[in-house]
Amino acid sequence: AKESFIRKPGDPLRVWAHRGGSSAAPENTAASDEVARRGRAEWIENDVQPTKDGVPVILHDDTVDRTTDGTGAVRNLTAAQVAGLDAGSWFAPAFTGQRVPTLGQQLDGLKTRGGNLLLEVKGAHTRDSVARIVTEIRDRSMTSRVFVQSFEPQHLRWMHELAPELPLGLLRSTLDPDPVAIAKDLGLSAYNPSDAAFRTRPGIVAELHAQGVAVNVWTVDDATRWNSLEKAGVDGIITNRPAELYGWNSAF
Ligand code: G3P
Ligand code: CA
């Protein structure tokens, strides 16, 4: 059986660092990883998309425009073109020289420096691009340190076929009519709603827990809300402020 991601009584909320420590460093870069690691986040969330030549790279938007000094859709750029972009100066001059990591580089960094990866399969993927992600993970023997999430059920179905050992989470910005049914259908380890969606029906925690499925809520940066969510029994929080959540957890 796969590891359970349900929080045990008395345990702190699991800290998932959204795009790394992205409030203090450029998102989805080695610099934001470092912030998350210093904040003792166990898990770093990154988004992964394929380049034109099929290399999985760590980038949130469909285009490189917002988070690099380049322009264009990532699906129209080669990995070499993406590797030449600056992914830090948009955030602050001190971060000039940060790069868009490939998934392989990201996994290498986590393997050497510590931490686990919450990998969001983002944007346009094919079965082949999902298979390439699996290869990168398996080649580095990192399957026990990766959790995969997506808004797209099809991406999770491919992932389940290709790598049944990886735990899966479904992202939702509105709740499904029957979260338990979809969790069973997709073989989910976690159901990950936005905070706004979660507020509409906090009772899903008990329903999903009864089926062994964890609930992680995103993206929550505020201690008042952490408190309410802890009381509601959720398992983890995806946050831009991992160090602060870790500190709040420790003081709790
Ligand atoms: O992990 C939840 C969150 O990452 C989903 O939204 O847009 O930040 O990828 P987004
Ligand atoms: Ca994401």
Please tell me whether the interface predicted TM-score (ipTM) of this complex is above 0.95. Answer: yes
**Hey, which of 15, 171, 234 would you mutate to test ligand 1's pocket, going by the most ligand atoms within 8 Å of its Cβ?**
171
**Ligand 1 pocket, residues with Cβ under 6 angstroms:** 18, 45, 47, 60, 120, 171, 218-219, 238
Return the ligand number nearest the Cα of 192.
1
Respond yes or no: is residue 60 known to be catalytic.
Answer: yes
Residue from 157, 70, 41, 116 nearest 61 by CA: 70
**pLDDT at residue 127, rounded to an integer:** 98
Average pLDDT of adjacent 10-residue blocks, the chain of 252 residues: 90 96 95 92 96 98 98 98 98 98 97 94 97 98 97 98 98 98 98 98 98 98 97 97 92 73
**Hey, which of 120, 121, 150 would you mutate to test ligand 1's pocket, going by the most ligand atoms within 8 Å of its Cβ?**
120
Please tell me the distance between residue 216's alpha carbon and the centre of ligand 1 in angstroms.
12
Counting from 1 in the atom list of ligand 1, the atom nearest the Cα of 194 is 2
Which residues on neighbouring strands pair with residue 172, listed in sequence order?
A: 193
Give the tens place of pLDDT for each residue, 70-93. Answer: 999 999 999 999 999 999 999 999
H-type alpha helices, the chain:
30-38, 79-83, 103-113, 127-139, 153-162, 179-186, 195-199, 204-209, 223-231, 242-251
Give the tens place of pLDDT for each residue, 26-72. Answer: 999 999 999 999 988 889 999 999 999 999 999 999 999 999 999 99
Measured between alpha carbons, how far is 164 from 1 in angstroms, rounded to an integer? 11
Residue of minimum CA distance from atom 7 in ligand 1:
60
**pLDDT at residue 250, rounded to an integer:** 84
Respond yes or no: is residue 209 known to be catalytic.
Answer: no
Contacts of 16 (CB under 8 A, 6+ apart): 41, 43, 44, 45, 118, 216, 218, 236, 237, 238, 239, 242
Are 57 and 48 a contacting pair, CB within 8 Å? Answer: yes
**pLDDT at residue 71, rounded to an integer:** 98
Domains of the chain: 14-251 (3.20.20.190)
